[in-house]
Structure 1
Amino acid sequence: MTALASRGQLRASVIRWALFTVPACMLLGYLSGALSQSGADNPWFAELAKPGIFPPPMWFGIVWSVLYAMMGFALALVCAAWGARGRTAAIALFAVQFAVNLAWSPTFFAAHQIAGALAVIVVLDLLVIATIALFWRVRRAAALLLLPYLAWILFATVLNYEFLRLNPKADGTSDRGAVQRIEI
Structure 2
Amino acid sequence: MVAAIVAVMGLTIALPDAWYHTLTLPRWAPRDDVFGVGWMVVYAITTVAVISGWRAMPTREGDWLIGLFAISGFLNIMWSMLLYRLHRPDWAQVEMILFWVSALALVVHCWRWSMAAALMFLPYLGWVTFTGYLNLVIVRLNGPFG
> What TM-score comes out, normalization by structure 1 length?
0.72
Q: RMSD of aligned C-alpha atoms?
A: 1.8
Determine if contact 2:57/2:113 at 8 Å carries over to the other structure. no
Aligned length: 146
2:143 matches 1:165: no
2:86 matches 1:111: yes
Point out where structure 1 has 5 or more consecutive residues left out of the alignment: 1-20, 173-184
| Partner AA of 2:18 in structure 1 | P
Partner of 1:138: helix, strand, or coil? coil
Determine if contact 2:54/2:65 at 8 Å carries over to the other structure. no
**Aligned sequence identity (%):** 28
Flag the structure with larger Rg.
1
2:20 matches 1:38: no
- List aligned pairs for 1:50-129, cutoff 5 A: 50-81=25-56, 83=58, 86-129=61-104
- State how far apart, in whole Å, the 2-side matches of 1:150 and 1:82 are: 21
Determine if contact 2:14/2:84 at 8 Å carries over to the other structure. yes
Determine if contact 2:6/2:73 at 8 Å carries over to the other structure. no
Partner of 1:87: helix, strand, or coil? helix
Evaluate the alpha carbon distance shift between residue 139 and residue 44 of structure 1 in structure 2; reply closer, same or farther with a 3 A threshold: same
Q: Deviation at 1:163?
A: 0.5
| Partner AA of 2:117 in structure 1 | A
Q: Deviation at 1:82?
A: 5.4
Evaluate the alpha carbon distance shift between residue 137 and residue 46 of structure 1 in structure 2; reply closer, same or farther with a 3 A threshold: same
Determine if contact 2:24/2:141 at 8 Å carries over to the other structure. yes
Q: Greater share of helix residues, 1 or 2?
A: 2
Alpha-carbon displacement from aligned partner over 1:53-95 (angstroms, at most 9, x marks no partner)? 2122221121111111111111111232353673222222222
Determine if contact 1:135/1:142 at 8 Å carries over to the other structure. yes
Determine if contact 2:29/2:134 at 8 Å carries over to the other structure. yes
> What TM-score comes out, normalization by structure 2 length?
0.89
- State how far apart, in whole Å, the 2-side matches of 1:28 and 1:37 are: 11
Alpha-carbon displacement from aligned partner over 1:110-130 (angstroms, at most 9, x marks no partner)? 011111110111111111111
